[in-house]
């Protein structure tokens, strides 16, 4: 499942192909993904110039000079294919540029989405309106304010998109490990001193994953070079029963229906 670093890597990959170019043609090969595609996609995008690529939480943003933003979400299995040699049955949306490049949104399970929103109304778009700050931008002070009075576990609160946007299970587990914070600790009880370790840990785990994804972009020119997925090794995530660097063993518990991996010796 694509997490924030995969989305960021995808956006950077698409930026190289799309930014500054005009959209010569689009093709929606089915009417919906998770929800219906905008019916006026072709009318609003064809002939527009792509002026910006960005990301908000786990959404990719493709802005045009017509003040529209095409918003994509990769869902469970989505990825963009750049200059695919053949169009396959899971390539649901295709965009071609004036210089003959072609990108295809491939999504076998179709949990992804495509929306078109006026660029000056992005902040009010319902999925964005309730989002917390970006994890790469949040400060310890702001996180402290957002956790204040909350008795739920820090693990679950960090997965709450209204507190901090786009942080997935893997990166929450890894950041709590690096900060030495027990995943069951109530969010509101965490000291400022510990939040000053947690916030840089969140920044670091994401930045390292984005850098690892960036290295996969070296294969970008290969005919079927997919954007968006890469593997990375983790300190605790998916390592139940394996040794921690401290000599203890990684433990797995279930919180909110999802696995948490942590080291009971290193995390208090
Ligand atoms: Zn340990």
Ligand 1 centroid, distance to 164 Cα (angstroms): 26
For 152-169, what is the mean pLDDT?
96
Assess contact for 88 and 106: CB atoms under 8 A.
yes
Q: What is the pLDDT of residue 3?
A: 87
Ligand 1 centroid, distance to 96 Cα (angstroms): 50
Assess contact for 164 and 206: CB atoms under 8 A.
no
Q: Does 212 have pLDDT greater than 90?
A: no
Q: Does 162 have pLDDT greater than 60?
A: yes
Q: What is the pLDDT of residue 193?
A: 98
Q: Tell me which of 76 and 120 has the higher pLDDT.
A: 120
Question: Active-site residue numbers?
Answer: 2-3, 58, 258
Q: What is the pLDDT of residue 227?
A: 60
Cβ within 8 Å of residue 15, ≥6 positions away: 53
Cβ within 8 Å of residue 166, ≥6 positions away: 4, 7, 56, 57, 58, 131, 134, 135
Ligand 1 centroid, distance to 88 Cα (angstroms): 46
Q: What is the pLDDT of residue 232?
A: 65
| High-pLDDT (> 90) share of the chain, % | 84
Q: Does 218 have pLDDT greater than 80?
A: no
Query: Encoding tokens for residue 109?
Result: 């399970």
């Amino acid at each position: 499942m694509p997490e924030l670093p995969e989305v960021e890597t995808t956006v950077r990959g698409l930026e190289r192909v799309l930014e500054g170019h005009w959209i010569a043609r689009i093709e929606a090969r089915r009417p919906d993904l998770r929800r219906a595609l905008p019916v006026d996609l072709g009318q609003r995008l064809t002939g527009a110039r792509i002026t910006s690529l960005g990301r908000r939480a786990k959404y990719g943003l493709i802005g045009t000079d017509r003040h529209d933003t095409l918003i994509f979400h990769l869902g469970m299995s989505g990825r963009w294919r750049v200059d695919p040699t053949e169009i396959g049955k899971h390539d649901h949306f295709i965009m071609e540029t004036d210089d003959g490049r072609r990108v295809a949104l491939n999504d076998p399970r179709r949990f992804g989405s495509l929306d078109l929103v006026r660029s000056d109304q992005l902040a009010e778009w319902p999925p964005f309106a309730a989002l917390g700050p970006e994890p790469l931008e949040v400060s310890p002070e702001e996180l402290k304010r957002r956790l204040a009075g909350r008795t739920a576990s820090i693990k679950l609160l960090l997965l709450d998109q209204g507190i901090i946007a786009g942080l997935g299970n893997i990166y929450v587990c890894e950041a709590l490990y690096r900060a030495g914070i027990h995943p069951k600790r109530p969010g509101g009880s965490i000291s400022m001193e510990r939040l000053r370790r947690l916030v840089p840990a969140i920044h670091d785990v994401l930045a390292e994953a984005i850098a690892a994804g960036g290295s996969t972009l070296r294969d970008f020119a290969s005919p079927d070079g997919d954007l968006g997925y890469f593997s990375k090794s983790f300190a605790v995530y998916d390592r139940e029963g394996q040794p921690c660097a401290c000599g203890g063993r990684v433990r797995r518990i279930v919180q909110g229906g999802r696995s948490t991996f942590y080291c009971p010796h290193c995390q208090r």
